[in-house]
Amino acid sequence: MFSSEARLIGLPLAAIDTPALVIDLEAMEDNIVRMGTYFATRPSKLRPHFKTHKCPILAHKQLAAGAVGVACAKVEEAEVLVAGGVLHNILIANQVVTRTKIFKLMGLNRHAEVMVCVDDSGNVAELAEAAQTFGVEIGVFVEVNVGMNRCGVDTAQAALALVRQVSNSKGLRFVGLQGYEGHDVKIVDLAQRQAAARRDIQRLIETREYIERSGIQVQLVDAGGTGTYNITGEIPGIDEIQAGSYLFGDVSYLGVLEDFRPSLSVLSTVVSRPARDRIITDMGLKAASTDQTLPQPVEVPGVQVRKLAEEHCYLAVDDPANELSVGDRIAFLPGHVCTTVNLHDRYYGVRNGLVEVVWEIAARGKSR
């Protein structure tokens, strides 16, 4: 499959069959440089999140532009990163719980540096035991709930108890704290977003101070995302920002982010034009996610996405002059970039209208 798709390299965009995930390489490279430039002059640094692109070569590009390390969500994602040559400073920004995954994490740490987050005492004990079995020492972040109410301990006292347990566990090395103001990153109004993120991150800063007052050094505090990189990234006491979506953008970030250009689209073909007021394309739920919002057509005025079925996108046509017909193509900005990327096996990278690269989305489907 990949070898045959690689035959498209050098051909025009029109040669790509649909549905297909297409990167505007120039826009993506601009985004990487722009984010790198932002952090170049600040105390906080960028640890880009692998979950957005799931493709090791893009992590290498982010590292080359100044990122200090990589965040990922799952052990299997870390495996793909390591297999793709990212060997240092990987943080699984999540809890690693099952026995199989814990053993995999320890095995990886004999060949690369892969750290992990914790929020549970029993889990810390299991990690420590496995680390000792494998003869490795792994870096550990304690996760703090800053108001998203997902993972993470709720109080500074609970955080300190876990920090002490980690510090006292052979095989584990306490590195720092992680919080994620994920409920704030897509607030469209900038002043409201700033206020919400600063309020929530204060809980993380206070936890840092509480732990440091007990005499334990907190080396790193990680937080933030694409919607708060320049808010949380400017709060003293925050060391690293885990932004991912800035690379590509999506509809859910339209209005939030003006600093980055959308660089990813789902290319689609009209498969039915049964009536003047509707168009059906081949971009269904197997090619674009709808968990946050619907995709939007790029540069097709007078056309609205009504819904997606498994294999079909339903478009309502407001403009009676619209002449799109079977076989014509429409590009869509993804509704939510990370879950859309997870549906595809490869990217087609395009520059000046020509296919330049075909990249495997090597961590597609890596949910463990």
Note whether 318 binds a copy of itself by CB under 8 A.
no
Q: Which of these segments, 25-33, 36-44, 222-230, 359-367, binds a copy of itself (CB under 8 A)?
A: 359-367
Q: Which of these segments, 105-113, 204-212, 281-289, 293-301, binds a copy of itself (CB under 8 A)?
A: 281-289
Closest CB to a copy of itself among 39 and 50? 50
Q: Who contacts 159 (Cβ-Cβ below 8 Å, separation ≥6)? A: 142, 144, 153, 177, 207, 210, 211
How far from 251 is each of 193, 237, 245, 263, 334, CA to CA, in Å?
A: 18, 31, 11, 12, 6
Q: Is the link from the previous residue into 297 a cis peptide, with omega within 30 of 0?
A: no
Kindly identify the residues of this chain, within the stretch 204-263, that bind a copy of itself according to CB under 8 A: none
Q: How far is the CB of 363 from a copy of itself (least distance, A)?
A: 10
Out of 311, 322, 351, 354, name the contact with a copy of itself by CB under 8 A: 311
**Tokens 């095989």, located at residue:** 171
Note whether 325 binds a copy of itself by CB under 8 A.
yes
Buried b (16+ CB within 10 A) or exposed e, 274-285: eeeeebbbbbbe
Note whether 95 binds a copy of itself by CB under 8 A.
yes
Angle at 244 between CA 96 and CA 11, to 5 degrees: 120
Q: Which of these segments, 27-35, 63-71, 205-213, 278-286, binds a copy of itself (CB under 8 A)?
A: 278-286
Kindly identify the residues of this chain, within the stretch 28-87, that bind a copy of itself according to CB under 8 A: 51, 73-74
- Secondary structure of the chain: what % helix, strand, coil (to 5)? 35, 25, 45
Kindly identify the residues of this chain, within the stretch 134-153, that bind a copy of itself according to CB under 8 A: 145, 149-153
Note whether 9 binds a copy of itself by CB under 8 A.
no
Crossing angle of helices 25-40/56-64, nearest 10°? 40
Closest CB to a copy of itself among 45 and 104? 104
| Contact yes or no for 93/117 (Cβ under 8 A) | yes
Region of residue 135 (left: phi > 0; alpha: psi -120 to 50; beta: else): left
Closest CB to a copy of itself among 132 and 290? 290
Residue 351 burial by CB count (10 A; 0-12/13-18/19+): exposed, middle or buried? Answer: middle
Structure tokens at 208: 């840092």
Note whether 304 binds a copy of itself by CB under 8 A.
no
Note whether 320 binds a copy of itself by CB under 8 A.
no
**Half-sphere exposure of residue 78, counting CA atoms within 13 Å on the CB side?**
29
Closest CB to a copy of itself among 65 and 280? 280
Note whether 125 binds a copy of itself by CB under 8 A.
no
Structure tokens at 289: 């996610």
Closest CB to a copy of itself among 211 and 338? 338
| Contact yes or no for 197/184 (Cβ under 8 A) | yes
Buried b (16+ CB within 10 A) or exposed e, 40-62: eeeebbbbbbbbbbbbbbbbbbb
Out of 27, 271, 303, 354, name the contact with a copy of itself by CB under 8 A: 271
Closest CB to a copy of itself among 87 and 316? 316
Q: Which of these segments, 169-177, 210-218, 245-253, 337-345, binds a copy of itself (CB under 8 A)?
A: 337-345
Note whether 327 binds a copy of itself by CB under 8 A.
yes
Out of 100, 168, 214, 304, name the contact with a copy of itself by CB under 8 A: 100
Distance between CA atoms of 301 and 183, rounded to whole angstroms? 32
- Amino acid at the residue 215: G
Q: Which of these segments, 59-67, 80-88, 206-214, 272-280, binds a copy of itself (CB under 8 A)?
A: 272-280
The answer to whether the Cα torsion of 291, 293, 298, 302 is positive or negative is: positive
Q: How far is the CB of 276 from a copy of itself (least distance, A)?
A: 11
Residues that bind a copy of itself (CB under 8 A): 17-19, 51, 73-74, 94-95, 97-98, 100-101, 119-120, 122-123, 145, 149-154, 182, 269-275, 278, 280, 282, 284-287, 289-291, 308-312, 314, 325-327, 338-339, 342-345, 364-368
